Chains A and B, each alone.
Chain A
Amino acid sequence: MSKELFPVIGLEVHLQLKTEKKMFCNCKNSFENKPNINICPVCTGQPGAMPLMNRQALRFAGEMANALNCKINMFMRFDRKNYFYPDCPKNYQITQHDFPLGYDGEFFFFSEKRQYRIKIQRVQMEEDSAKLNHIGDDLSAGSFIDYNRSGVPLLEIVTGPDFEDAEAACAYLEFLKRTAKYLEISDCSMEKGSLRVDTNISLTGQKGSLPGYKVEIKNLNSFIAVKNAIEYEMERQRGIINSGNSSSLCDETRLWDAANKKTLGMRKKETESDYRYFPEPDIPPLFIQDKNISELKESTKLTPFFAMNQLINTFKIEIGDAYVITAEKQFYEFFTETSKYTSQYKKIVNWLTGDVLFNLRKKGIDLSGSKLTPKELGGIIERIESGALTGKIVKELMPELIEGASVDKLVEKKGIKPISSGGELDSLIRGILKKHPEEVKAYRNGKTGLIGFFMGEVMKGTKGQAEPRRAKEALLKILENKEE
């Protein structure tokens, strides 16, 4: 009989910080162009070269650690991680082992369905490696080394082993990405490698206790890959345990094979790699001042977590909608700006996530390229509410509105006018009812389902220029009053 097994999942994320310069030298932080153009003695490991300290990277890292509610080490130090690999020019990486910038954090985040919380073990700064470009698939043919990426600032964020399923892990990744993008510290592109994820997975028979093994999965190139790999790996391990072979599970690194949707054994970790960490002697320890920390804490930089809470609590937006609005900072900011002109918050959400987004996508631009102002959108929503405009009209005008046209001028120019005056609408409805005496009779005899039919006719008759809610009210009034 198979017993219940609980997943133990932890994530290690590497974020490339989009600073102007590299972590320990003044080379440009840019590596998408020609190979080996942004290099110097420091980032190519020349003899005698010494590291600088990138203050901007420190600040970015501090902002992220703060958003993850980490404690900040007042005494901060860099360490050397010693290992030989051809992409590592000094054959040691400058990283933070004993005194990382941030530790003991707690990250609150949302999915479109619920709120989560995860422990953050550490947030540490380090340098990226060079990029190996293999000649062909066979490593023996040799590799080219591009040092443009060498020394690019990296932030490593390690969670506790506390995710219970792939869904939570992916929600974390999405929200972490949003947070870094809100703070404008990283591009967070898994495709380009500016966000990299390693996953640790194991199964335990007893909730809360860690099993004696840990499987690390590498080569995860998308959030979908993370989700699929976790789910595959959980099933694989479950199968092994249920077939009585749990002793064959050991610490190992596996590779995600996206094409065949499975993890492949890479190497067993018989002994833990010995990186012989020791303090980096070329960088004096940094003593972080109280005032630096209070500056961080008082930072007014917007985070998606704050934005979600605002939408849910202050604007009473449903979590799913709030999740869509907060996907991009500019969407959220557009929302809050628009909310100054109308209190129809739900309507703002609908317009933004509906027609505005649709038309922007169609044009291949994002919100920053749109000329529709929050004030204009707010005014439009208010006028729809008062019946001075209809949704249908606005829908049709939206392509021009995002080009910056004013709705009033468009309406005037095109001669579009909503049928809003009571008398006009009433006589229109009466005309329609006259054409369908049979249906009117049936309705009045209790076949109220016909209301849909009448509404259709009314909208057709008004060419959509009637505001539906008002049209329905008027229709009901006439039908119920038994007016002819």
Chain B
Amino acid sequence: MKKLTIDSFRGKSVDEIKKTIKKNISAADPKINAYLEAFDIDKFEQGKGLLANIPFAVKDNILIKGMISSCASRMLADYKAPYSAFVIEKLLSEGAMITGRTNMDEFAMGSSTENSAFMTTKNPLNEEYVPGGSSGGSAAAVASGMCAFALGSDTGGSVRQPAAFCGIYGYKPTYGVFSRRGLVAYCSSFDQIGVLANSIEDIAMVSSVMNDKDPYDLTSYLDRELKELGKIKYTDSVFKSGIIGVVNTFEGIPVSPEIEASYKKLVGELRKMNLEVVNISPPFLEYAIPLYYVLSAAEAASNLARFDGVKYAFNKRSASYQKLLMKTRGEGFGREVKRRIMLGTFVTSSGYKDEFYKKANRLRTNMKKSYDALFSNIDYMLLPTTPTPPFKLGEKIDDPVAMYYSDAFTTFANIIGIPALSIPYDTDPKGLPIGMQVLSNVKRDVDLLTFCANLVRKLK
């Protein structure tokens, strides 16, 4: 299987690129099911700009004007987007070509892409295994040469975890680097669009195109350094000034022996390279999962309230508004989505709000402070991306809590808004990929990308 980078398309004609993509999709996708819909790219006309003719796939919760945007839900199965997401506009303005919309866990809720209402995506490296989730379709498409890069969304690890499971790079920037306008909201204060690709250079390139202050997203901002980042600088000086925090034990979080062994191997390599490595214990890490599920469910219940059958998309015509609501939502949403809506409604209800929602929010504030303090002593933090290597299809689907723990190392980055990059580092004894995650403090995205690119080159 050939992994495609942006550079591998440079100098090729648009027709050649189309031919490659169509060939790869028809060869791989019938087995993998990465795309909910592969677009008719023959309609694409010669692109102009920094990403001219570069093929990319889009997670199905990011709107593309005139195309269906289903969030892999029955609820939006026929919903045609009335406008394009800000990041889509940015990429199209630089000439990039959309290959299609990719499968995902319904409304981005899940860690295996098995919660899609339409189909199951397989891990391209071993079809018995999940590709991770919720951006599993995007990760599988990148890993199997069906596009050069893909957009995903990362609310608790949904870009990094599938990237790790599919052996590619996955980047979740600082909260606000990419406008969320046109990203169907799951948990607005955690959601970030992310990039999945086969190289850090590609991630940097795409990110510099997509970053901007969007006047229509009050939480977005322009990162001037990122915007002007052309090529990544390769220099040993990044190692001289970078202190890396590593952990000795994963207290409170069950980690599989393969992951632990790989992690220790990487820490050993760093030390051998004479990098400045210090031991840390990431504060409140063991609380990240419960906190994440309280706060994300609370916001999800509210964000998904708009799907009522009144205005657009799926509806079950009924004699009363109450019946319309219950039938539409009862049939339109899948099991996991309903579970989180109920959970979110519960934790914000009077009588329980103090005990759950408010307590979680206080903890979130404390976490932010603690990590800010921690990052005054270190520049980067190294953690595994996932506590286990890829698991089998069906293995965890009936055990939601086990599934939730797939994100044990990723959610805290969303909780405190810091950037993180998952790097394909190793393989387990079965040959399945293992990813490692590097994180840094907020708004240090360019440092993070530069450091990781240099590190990857050194490790080779």
- Please list the residues of chain A having a beta carbon within 8 angstroms of any beta carbon in chain B: 41, 44-53, 80, 82, 84-86, 89-92, 140, 145, 272, 274, 276, 278, 281-284
Contact = CB atoms under 8 A, between A and B. Distances in A.
Contact of B82 (A41, A53, A86): A41
B218 A274 contact: no
A352 B96 CA distance: 71
B235 interface: no
Interface string B157-198: 000000000000000000000001111110111000000000
A284 B218 contact: yes
A276 B219 CA distance: 23
A88 to B, nearest CB: 9
A80 B219 CA distance: 17
A278 B345 CA distance: 11
B311 A89 contact: yes
A282 B189 CA distance: 7
Nearest to B84: A48
27 contacts: A44-B311, A45-B306, A47-B76, A47-B79, A47-B306, A48-B63, A48-B85, A48-B180, A48-B183, A50-B180, A50-B181, A53-B218, A86-B310, A89-B306, A89-B311, A90-B305, A90-B306, A91-B306, A92-B305, A276-B345, A276-B350, A278-B298, A281-B187, A281-B219, A282-B185, A282-B188, A282-B218
Given A89-B306, A90-B305, A282-B218, A48 B182 contact: yes
Which A-B residue pairs are the 3 nearest by beta carbons? Answer: A91-B305, A281-B189, A281-B188
A284 B216 CA distance: 13
A46 B79 CA distance: 10
B40 to A, nearest CB: 24
B116 interface: no
A86 B318 CA distance: 13
A47 B63 contact: yes
B218 A84 contact: no
Interface stretch (B265-273, B319-327, B385-393, B430-438): B319-327
Nearest to B351: A274
Nearest to B176: A284
Given A41-B82, A82-B305, A92-B305, A47 B185 contact: yes
Interface of B: 62-63, 69, 71, 76, 79, 81-83, 85, 180-185, 187-189, 215-219, 298-299, 301-302, 305-306, 308, 310-312, 319-321, 325, 345, 348-350, 353, 357
A344 to B, nearest CB: 57
Contacts of B83: 41, 46
A82 B311 contact: no
Contact of A281 (B299, B319, B321): B299
Contacts of B62: 48
Contact of B219 (A86, A272, A282): A282
A274 B299 CA distance: 16
Contacts of B305: 82, 84, 90-92
B321 to A, nearest CB: 5
Contacts of B183: 48
Contacts of B219: 281-282, 284
A424 B71 CA distance: 98
A41 B310 CA distance: 15
A272 B349 CA distance: 12
A326 B293 CA distance: 58
Nearest to A49: B181
Contacts of A278: 298-299, 302, 348, 357
A294 B308 CA distance: 45
Contacts of A140: 319-320
Contacts of A41: 82-83
Contacts of A46: 82-83, 312
Nearest to B320: A140
A50 B311 contact: no
Contacts of B79: 47
A394 B302 CA distance: 68
A44 B299 CA distance: 19
A50 B218 contact: yes
Nearest to B305: A91
Nearest to A48: B182
Nearest to B312: A46
Contacts of B189: 281
A145 B310 contact: yes
Contact of B308 (A53, A91, A283, A284): A91
A276 B218 contact: no
Contacts of B320: 140
A153 B319 CA distance: 32
Contact of B325 (A47, A80, A84): A84
B218 A80 contact: no
A45 B217 contact: no
Contacts of B299: 278, 281
B348 A52 contact: no
Residue of B69, B182, B357 with most chain A CB atoms under a 10 A cut-off: B182
A420 to B, nearest CB: 70
Nearest to B191: A281
Given A41-B83, A46-B312, A281-B189, A52 B218 contact: yes
Nearest to B348: A276
A52 B215 contact: yes
Nearest to A44: B311
Given A48-B63, A276-B349, A276-B353, A84 B308 contact: yes
Contacts of B319: 140
Contacts of B185: 47-48, 282
Contacts of B306: 45, 47, 89-91
A283 B218 contact: yes
A130 B189 CA distance: 27
A204 B325 CA distance: 42
Contacts of A51: 218
A45 B181 CA distance: 13
Contacts of A282: 185, 188, 217-219
Given A47-B71, A278-B298, 11 more contacts: A47-B76, A48-B63, A50-B218, A84-B305, A86-B310, A92-B305, A274-B350, A278-B357, A281-B188, A283-B218, A284-B219
